[in-house]
Amino acid sequence: GGDVLIKNTILKSDHFPGCQNMKLTPLIDGAPNFRQVRGLPVYGVAIPTVKGLRTVLDVLGAGRGGRKVLWHNMREEPVIYINGAPYVVRESTNPLANLEYTGIDRARVEQMEDRLKADILAEAQVMHNTILVADEDDNFNVINKWESVTEVDVQTPLEVYAELQADGYDVDYFRVPVTDEKAPKERDCDELVRRCWNPTPGAAVVFNCQMGRGRTTTGMIIGSILMLERLKRSPDGQEHIPAWFPSHDGGSRMLLPTSAEGEVKAVCFACW
């Protein structure tokens, strides 16, 4: 066993049958549940494959000389890319359940990803440049398969985004580790405020978790509320506030009475 890929653990594929909500558009191969908050440059997506990530950045116009993208990975689990697909560590006896790392910070989870890469490469060297991984079939049965790997085929998320930057994509990647079904910690909210309060004009703000649902939607809500609050305070911001937002003035220049609760509910609705 290694430091992260220890005895009685396996590498499990992140994507599985049925993780895509077929009502969402556009449907992007390798980037399930991609969507936009209506009227705002705020987006959510499941963890993408490398190919899916490139497609999302192309859709957002982030190619050389194009739009800036602030990308936030909301996962606390160490993730590794093998041949362009994302994998996580799971217990071999419970391969469908996330391992929790509650309270882990960004530096620690990224160190774990570095060590996980080293574990995989060490094991692959022993196994003639192959590594055993687990997938799911359409009946949610876990199926083992061998993946051929060399050093260039195993990448941490940081390495994937660095490669995209080297290819000319203007993407600024940041990890915000949040436990599934739990609220972000105060320090995480502070980081999101720092990044989302006053982004580069025209920038896209993107959030991902595993399936692009819980933690992604939380990030989208935080990003949207920050953006809307800033628009409300801006002299010409009112004309950019989406019509669905409770304090939208409808062209009357008289703000409708609203409540924080009503605003949050409206943002939640707009995220899907």
List, for residues 229-262, the tens digit of each pLDDT value.
Answer: 888 877 776 667 877 677 555 544 444 445 566 6
Please spell the DSSP secondary structure of 101-120, one letter per residue: -TT--HHHHHHHHHHHHHHH
pLDDT by residue (tens digit) across 130-169?
999 999 888 888 899 999 999 999 999 999 999 999 999 9
Give residue limits of the domains in the chain.
Answer: 9-233
101-113: pLDDT as tens digits: 888 999 999 999 9
The pLDDT of residue 268: 63
- Residue among 271, 189, 178, 181 at smallest CA distance from 226: 189
Q: What is the pLDDT of residue 211?
A: 87
Contacts of 128 (CB under 8 A, 6+ apart): none
Query: CA–CA separation, 237 vs 137, rounded Å?
Result: 49
Burial class (CB in 10 A: 0-12, 13-18, 19+), 22: exposed
pLDDT at 251: 47
pTM for the model stands at 0.90
Return phi, psi of residue 58, to 5°: -65, -45
pLDDT at 11: 96
Per residue in 207-226, pLDDT (tens digit) is: 999 988 889 999 999 999 99
Quick one: pLDDT at residue 263? 64
Exposed/middle/buried for residue 95 (C-beta within 10 Å: 0-12, 13-18, 19+): middle
One CATH from 1.20.120.1200, 2.170.190.11, 3.40.50.1980, 3.90.190.10 for 9-233: 3.90.190.10
Mean per-residue pLDDT for 100-125? 94
Task: Categorize the per-residue pLDDT at 46 as very low, low, confident or very high, splitting at 50, 70 and 90.
Answer: very high
CB atoms within 10 A of CB 26: 11
CA 201: distance to chain centroid? 22
Strand partners for 87: 13, 80
Q: Tokens at residue 77, please?
A: 């689990």
Q: E strands of the chain, at which residues?
A: 9-13, 35-36, 42-45, 69-75, 79-82, 85-91, 130-136, 142-148, 154-155, 171-178, 204-208
Per-residue pLDDT band for 97 (boundaries 50, 70, 90) equals: confident
**First and final C-alpha spacing in the chain:** 42
Pseudo-torsion of CA 240, 246, 250, 255, nearest 10°?
-90
In the prediction, which pLDDT does 238 show?
66
Mean pLDDT of the chain: 88
**Do 160 and 81 form a contact (C-beta atoms < 8 A)?**
yes
Query: From CA 70, how far away is CA 226, in angstroms rounded?
Result: 14
Cis peptide bond upstream of 177, omega within 30: no
